[in-house]
Amino acid sequence: MQSTTLKRNVLALAVGAGLLVSGQTVLAEQKLSESGYITGSLVIDWDSRLPRNREHDSAKPGVADVFDMDVSVGNTFYRGKIQCLPYVFSRHLGRVLQEGACRYDVDLGVINPADRSQQRVVGKLVGTATKDRNGRIDLTASNLRVEVQTIGRATGFTSEFGGSVQSTPVKARTTLTDLMDTAAKQTATLTRMVGEREVTMTLGDVDPVTFQRTKLAAGPSSNYVEAVVDGQFIYSYETDNWFPSLTATYADTKDRFTGGLKWVDISDTSGRYELNVLVNEDQGASDESAAFEDDMGEEAFFMPSPARDTINGTITFQDTYVSGVEAPTRSEVKYDVGLQGVTAQQAQIFWKALLLIPNQFYGE
């Protein structure tokens, strides 16, 4: 009954939007294997890093970094901006002059799979998520939400984000503190299956982003249901790699996201993440990768596994620098991400998790 309801909802939404997709409608729970499932661009203007927008090695209040996206996720799209204000402290006393917060204003839409030139905005991702000094984003207290319009026979809905996301506490740099003081290094132990063998690895210097009962809103259409995510998305300072260790729960389903995103330098100003994100790897069949004998460390987390459900492909960065600024002042990001035995619902969960951590993932 649930599958029939989901199919009816997405078909009604598409028809109401003027996008008659007939029998080609893809259900959110169907496994897909296709390249270029997540495609498009994200242009980030790190305006708070520009010399004209800084004072005493700190961003001036009111200057936001802007994430301008145009990204398709299967037969849906996300187009708009996220504007993130950094924390700003007074120079001498470390008093908070500006709290860190990200404001979302993103159009959500559907695409006719039979003719991808037929597209329609059906709603928005809107609201503001604020980070406290402990690095916690309380989404339940925020107004971040998906609002989908009533179009034709499709009933609109509002779905809110909830729970929290925890990252590194915000530290004030003042003339009264030791600027060289750093937090104690954190470690993390990860496991994955390579063939029938469980591989364990300990990372020595990491910066985890922790999802705590984080509710991802439904949408862009009603067949993509709300999901609750727990676990960590772990960044390694030693290699610039990311390692998801996340569990997503929705309806009667629980999915695990593991594997890794490997950073590869292309030039002094460009590089890419090569994705090998495994979905429910403990349920997959054995494959030829089981033949390896040596302890490969992090490399084991990036070994292709043809028999397992995988989100793969690349996220490529092209950075622009200005004189006197160590970090990029502009980043142009391109997505070419495919699915191997992964459902549309699982792909939306992965994408929405990234939407919640723009600063952390793209260059904080």
pLDDT digits (tens, 9 = 90+) for 249-300: 999 999 999 999 999 999 999 999 999 999 998 765 555 444 444 545 666 6
Give the β-pairing of 270-279 and 76-85. Answer: unpaired
Q: Per-residue pLDDT averaged across 111-137, rounded?
A: 94
pLDDT bracket for residue 89 (50, 70, 90): confident
- Picking from 346, 344, 270, 276, the residue whose alpha carbon sits closest to that of residue 32 is 344
Lowest mean pLDDT of 153-162, 229-238, 283-292, name the range.
283-292
Joined tokens for residue 227: 């999901």
pLDDT (0 to 100) of residue 282: 74
Q: Which has more pLDDT, 221 or 363? A: 221
Helix, strand, coil content of the chain in percent (nearest 5): 15, 50, 35
- For 175, 189, 193, 219, 351, the CA distances from 25, given in Å and listed in that order, are 60, 41, 34, 15, 20
Mean pLDDT for all residues in the chain: 84
CA 304: distance to chain centroid?
21
- Counted residue by residue, the chain has a size of 364
Count of alpha carbons within 13 Å of 30, Cβ hemisphere only?
A: 13
Q: Nearest 5 degrees, angle CA 143-CA 337-CA 46?
A: 55
pLDDT (0 to 100) of residue 298: 62
pLDDT (0 to 100) of residue 272: 97
- In angstroms, the CA 325 to CA 108 distance is 35
Q: At 300, is the secondary structure helix, strand, or coil?
A: helix
pLDDT bracket for residue 204 (50, 70, 90): low
Most confident segment among 17-26, 88-97, 346-355: 346-355
pLDDT (0 to 100) of residue 300: 61
Most confident segment among 176-180, 301-305, 358-362: 358-362
Percent of the chain with pLDDT over 70: 76
- Picking from 173, 343, 121, the residue whose alpha carbon sits closest to that of residue 253 is 343
pLDDT above 50 (res 234): yes
pLDDT (0 to 100) of residue 108: 98
pLDDT bracket for residue 209 (50, 70, 90): very high
Q: Which helix (H) or strand (E) holds 345?
A: helix 344-355
**Cβ atoms of residues 88 and 81 within 8 Å:** no
pLDDT (0 to 100) of residue 12: 43
**Given its phi and psi angles, is residue 44 left (phi above 0), alpha (psi -120 to 50 degrees) or beta?**
beta
Residue 363: partners with Cβ closer than 8 Å, 6 or more residues away: 44, 46, 327, 328, 331
pLDDT (0 to 100) of residue 39: 98
pLDDT (0 to 100) of residue 186: 74
pLDDT bracket for residue 318 (50, 70, 90): very high
Lowest mean pLDDT of 9-18, 182-191, 209-218, name the range.
9-18
DSSP 62: T
Beta-carbon neighbour count of residue 260 at 10 Å? 27
